[in-house]
Amino acid sequence: MTEFLIVTGLSGAGKSRAMDTLEDIGFYCVDNMPPTLILKVAEICLSSNKMSKVAIVTDLRGGDMFYGLFEALDELKAKGIDYKILFLDATDEELSRRYKETRRRHPLMDVSKGGVLEAIRTERVLLRPAREKADFIIDTTHLSANELRQRLSGIFLTTLENTMLIHVMSFGFKHGLPPEADLVFDVRCLPNPFYIDDLKEKTGLDQEVKDYVMDAEESKQLLIKLEDLMELLIPLYEKEGKSQLLIAFGCTGGKHRSVTFAEYLYQYFYGKKKNVRIVHRDIGK
């Protein structure tokens, strides 16, 4: 069965890099596709036994044609063709910085009648319905090209169908909240290894740090409560048909307590044979 992935998102958020990765992991990729052609391309791909995975980029570069996206998706559904939507996002400030670096012209500069930042904000409003319908959302604000590649590979080297993918993330509040997170847990209330000389330069990947954090009674109780909460929530999300769930743990710098709890929850899901991935966003900062 052919798997169809619709890739969209903010201009400058990394769609071209995403397509490079998807192509490398076996997708047949088509860039800048007008929505009116999506059904025809899907039918051609279905008639070929050589295309098991197809990724199509459609965005506001196509001008007014983009607004036919949801009609095109309804046509796919009416034909019994299953699809998923990947939405790439980033903060307005980061997108503006990228445009200044590359000196490229934003596709909505004329429409917004303002500067780059105003064009980005206009595009965000126009793309809001697509973001709300997305099965996978990746915020690339803090991701390097290699980290984006790892995130995409973690999702799409498995299957697009049936199994919900759980991402567990650690982050530092001083570096900003992960905007794509579904659940955020603040573990700054727990004992901080940063203030212990022998542990300050280590991370939650080191056993000494894990032992220090988890030696506290409040940490033990929190882990028990989290596992109970996951026992309740995960079946509900799976029943809803959610494709991706991102659970984020935050501490001050993103190196000790958040990493420790992310690792423990990852091991919990791994032991339950869930489709789980882990990323430590700020561990190297």
Residue 42 lies in a domain: yes
Residue 195 lies in a domain: yes
DSSP string computed for 105-130: PPTTHHHHTS-HHHHHHHHHHHHHHH
281 and 254 Cβ atoms separated by less than 8 Å: yes
Domain end, chosen from 156, 183, 211, is at 156
Work out how many domains the chain is built from and give that number.
Answer: 2
CA distance 27 to 52: 8
3 and 160 Cβ atoms separated by less than 8 Å: yes
Are 141 and 239 within one domain? no
Question: Which CATH number belongs to the domain containing residue 7 in this structure?
Answer: 3.40.50.300
Are 7 and 62 within one domain? yes
Domain end, chosen from 106, 127, 156, is at 156
Are 149 and 169 within one domain? no
Q: Residue with structure tokens 């980005």?
A: 120
Nearest to 119 by CA among 10, 208, 239: 10
Are 29 and 142 within one domain? yes
| Predicted confidence pLDDT, tens digits, the chain (285 residues) | 678 899 999 999 999 999 998 988 888 898 888 888 888 888 888 776 667 789 999 887 766 656 788 888 888 888 888 899 999 999 999 999 998 888 788 888 777 677 888 989 988 998 898 899 999 999 999 888 888 988 888 888 765 444 688 999 999 999 999 998 999 999 999 999 999 999 999 999 999 999 999 999 999 999 999 999 999 999 998 887 777 899 999 999 999 999 999 999 999 999 988 888 899 999 998
Residue 285 lies in a domain: no
Strand order in the sheet with 136-139: 28-30, 53-57, 3-9, 83-89, 136-139
Are 70 and 127 within one domain? yes
Does the pTM of the predicted model rise above 0.85? no
Are 217 and 131 within one domain? no
- How far from 224 is each of 192, 217, 238, CA to CA, in Å? 20, 11, 22
Domain end, chosen from 98, 131, 156, is at 156
Are 132 and 177 within one domain? no
Are 132 and 172 within one domain? no
Are 115 and 195 within one domain? no
At residue 63, the pLDDT reads: 61
Name 222's Cβ contacts closer than 8 Å, sequence gap at least 6. 187, 190, 261
Residue 275 lies in a domain: yes
At residue 62, the pLDDT reads: 61
Are 133 and 178 within one domain? no
Q: How many CA atoms lie within 13 A of 277 on its CB side?
A: 19
Residue 270 lies in a domain: yes
Enclosing domain of residue 213: 165-280
33 and 59 Cβ atoms separated by less than 8 Å: no
| CA torsion, ordered 1, 31, 141, 131, to nearest 10 deg | -60
CA distance 144 to 210: 27
At residue 39, the pLDDT reads: 87
CA distance 130 to 115: 24
Which segments of the chain does DSSP mark as H helices, in order? 15-24, 38-46, 69-78, 92-102, 109-112, 116-133, 145-156, 207-214, 217-240, 257-271
- How far from 251 is each of 194, 196, 266, CA to CA, in Å? 11, 16, 17
- How far from 206 is each of 257, 268, 277, CA to CA, in Å? 11, 18, 19
Are 139 and 207 within one domain? no
Are 31 and 124 within one domain? yes
